[in-house]
Structure 1
């Protein structure tokens, strides 16, 4: 809805309507809808911020400055990637006199103060708990020698044709090049300022270390309006229809794929499904172990395993704990379900890695129960390892061990 309002404010109701449809059917969005992630609130507040920025530039109203600050503040609470909004605003202000005027009269101060006021409780809480999100972000960024990875840059850039759609991304590149060479439409400059800086920054990140395809999600609300306006202005309605039809077909396929990935050969080649299917099989394997012997608790070593077992074993009356990966929590599950002395025993440890040999020093009883294979797609399997633990000695957590081959 916010994308519709933004498109309508810039180019009229037709562009607003089709921009919203285009964005809702993007391949990356269709895939993301299969998952539970913080991208949903991030994109919500990003689109609100984009609308507020458009109206602030057009009307130079303090009310829209307030809305912008609130949207950025709540967006930062959803995900740190909301900080890109300040980068995009700065880039637009660097090339647009209207944007610079919109930030005068105390409006920039209001935006920054409101965003900071909403985000500062989170900063305080993080300071008290060792900044786990910062550590998580640092691990994701992964800056370490060598700092040049051209193949990863090519891979990231190529993935954008899948995330945004092959036709739309090609149109975006062409429209961007045309506006960079000769800026003819201030509204397109605004939209490019809220998409190209994000893509450029992540291309640099991919070259230095790595970047996942979905990290560019915030670039595509503005880009959706831009390519829709460009294609409708140039009367590329057939090309627009082909792109939309392709995306709708992909959306239907992605919606059906997880349910039929193990039954229909059509989906067996979709290797990206290997991360989202098979978890029910993992849970069934765990349930089988629970039926063989009475256990007081489950213990896992990753947030992914914790999330999946909490969902698929939600009807099992057994507590689940997470073995700490370090001296301070690295994710939500390590904070709220950290393993401590006094957990009911015996304990069933479940992992995609071999049971750590260091458990022998942390527990008086340590029995490796072997592993079990779970079928995925594309002839892949997921190996699940089990071990039985009892008589916890209160020893420090072991260092993470390498995954089993």
Structure 2
């Protein structure tokens, strides 16, 4: 049954009295301090999502809206600057997910299993890395865990109110990332293959949850209908299923990467469970939910490609399974090694630059995992040497990265004066939110004074009545890489048809 079966007297310690809870809390506090004191600039996806957040909608070119809503919440509370106010939602959501895992483990197994699961999840390299960056994974994993938690409670109690909450969580998960749909399929598969719960299909609860999830998700569907299902087009493009199929090397690369994503010991224990019969219905449910997600993304990797974080939701229920194995086999020492290795990996990542400097190693692009973040804040701010009053102009670019950075670092959010932006898209192919909504060729600007920015030199005299180079912003980011932004002043856009 999906209810506690292994509670013992020793498992009734107050959560606040348990040292593992304080280890979990200390890890959260450490990450928050690191964010606030670490001065880590925004990755361009974060700056892009921040632009979404100040332009609220029910959908965006590449994603549903939840990540933007999270940023709206944190920046409303803490302001838009410095950068940690954009990022902080990730750490908080991962911690909340860990607390849900604690309660799930306690309900399904015992308190120790719950604490182990929370710590395994929260110390995993995936969460350690992603806690410094706000991505769609943070809300996805939270609502994935919440949906699983509420589904289990609803199955046990058959309470319609809890079924309604489960459907709401599922719908909010779909508004976080479309892969949330995998958990619905996994839950249905569990119900169909488990005699004890097959009767739920004849009751209203599970169908009520499905209807509520669809209603919560409906605004994003309607948004996509109004925009030619652009999000699905983007999903198809990044999956690369239109290119050559069947790549064993990509599958092997993805699978090997999971040892780093979840942690080497945790992932090894998890894959050993593939070859064992589930020991309980709870065990079976968790395994189906985890394997379903991993199987879908593994298939994607085999057919075309998949980034190693795409299967992140796997490790919500996988954390519970690994914790159950360690507790049931009384492997405290192995648990110590598991968390210890994860924390060593996190420490190496968090203090990568100081460690290299202490070792006397020169930091270069080739060896720096932060290289995609470094230098862009500085070079964006350096454009102000050519444009003293950024808000007096409409900023134009063919790069969503440059537009996103310019919007974040050059806007005056304190006075509610965001930078005006336009996408330069002469080919007409929609490749980001700016092309979709802010194309200079489709939206007439009342201000015809423009600043054009590009990573490469441009000659666009035919497009504008005036197109003059102001200079090049520059940042010497690495010995082997320098950031450059070419800055032009332009006036009176004449239309793409006049570009030459």
Unmatched tracts of structure 2, length 5 or more: 1-98
TM-score by length of 2: 0.70
Distance 1:246 1:143, change over 3 A: same
Q: Using the TM superposition, give the Cα deviation of residue 100 of structure 1 relative to its aligned residue in structure 2, in angstroms.
A: 2.6
Q: Distance in 2 between matches of 1:160 and 1:110?
A: 35
Instruction: Find the aligned partners of 1:397 and 1:183 in 2 and give their Cα distance.
Output: 67
- How far is 1:343 from its partner? 5.5
**Alignment CA distance shift 1:306-1:144 (3 Å):** same
Q: Secondary structure, in 3 states, of the residue corresponding to 1:274?
A: coil
Asked if the contact 2:397–2:424 (Cα under 8 Å) also holds between the matched residues in 1, the reply is no
Q: Is the 8 A contact 1:4 1:17 kept in 2?
A: yes
Task: State the shift of 1:283 in Å.
Answer: 1.5
Corresponding position of 1:347: 450
1:303 and 2:383 equivalent? no
1:143-222 pair list within 5 angstroms: 143-178=241-276, 182-222=277-317
Distance in 1 between the 2:123 and 2:216 partners? Answer: 32
- Encode CA deviations 1:173-218: one digit per residue, 9 max, x unaligned: 112222xxx3333222111111111111111111111111111121
Residue 462 of structure 2 is matched in structure 1 by 361
Is the counterpart of residue 66 in structure 1 residue 161 in structure 2?
no
Q: Following the alignment from structure 1 to structure 2, what is the Cα–Cα distance between the partners of residues 374 and 95?
A: 59
Deviates more, 1:240-249 or 1:283-292: 283-292
CA contact (8 A) 1:370 1:386 kept: yes
Q: Which residue, 126, 144, 154 being the options, matches 1:56?
A: 154
1:11 to 109, 112, 126: 109
Say how many residue pairs are matched. Answer: 392
Q: CA RMSD in A?
A: 3.1
Mapped contact 1:296–1:346 kept (Cα < 8 A): yes
How far is the alpha carbon of 1:320 from its aligned partner?
A: 3.6
Q: Which of residues 217, 222, 229 is equivalent to 2:324?
A: 229
Which residue, out of 39, 64, 88, partners 2:186? 88
Report the secondary structure of 1:215's partner residue: coil
Kept in 2, the 8 Å contact 1:341–1:392? The answer is: no
- Larger mean Cα displacement after TM superposition, 121-130 or 247-256: 247-256
Q: Mapping of 1:16-55 within 5 angstroms? A: 16-55=114-153
Report the 3-state secondary structure (helix = DSSP H, G, I; strand = E; otherwise coil) of the residue aligned with 1:298. Answer: strand
Secondary structure of the structure 2 residue equivalent to 1:272: coil
Residue-by-residue CA offset, 1:338-384 (whole Å, 9 max, x unaligned): 433335354222234x3565x44322333456755544569444443
Q: Distance in 2 between matches of 1:310 and 1:111?
A: 40
SS at match of 1:139: helix
Q: Is the 8 Å Cα contact of residues 297 and 343 (structure 1) preserved in structure 2?
A: no
Residue 490 (structure 2) aligned to one of 376, 389, 394: 389
**Structure 1 stretch 306-315 or stretch 17-26: which is displaced more?**
306-315
1:271/1:378 contact within 8 Å kept: no
* Displacement over 6 Å in runs of 4+: 261-264, 292-295
Matches within 5 A, 1:259-274: 265=361, 270-274=367-371
Which segment is superposed worse, 24-33 or 56-65? 56-65
Instruction: Answer whether contact 1:69 1:110 (CA < 8 A) is retained.
Output: yes
Cα distance in structure 1, aligned partners of 2:424 and 2:173: 29
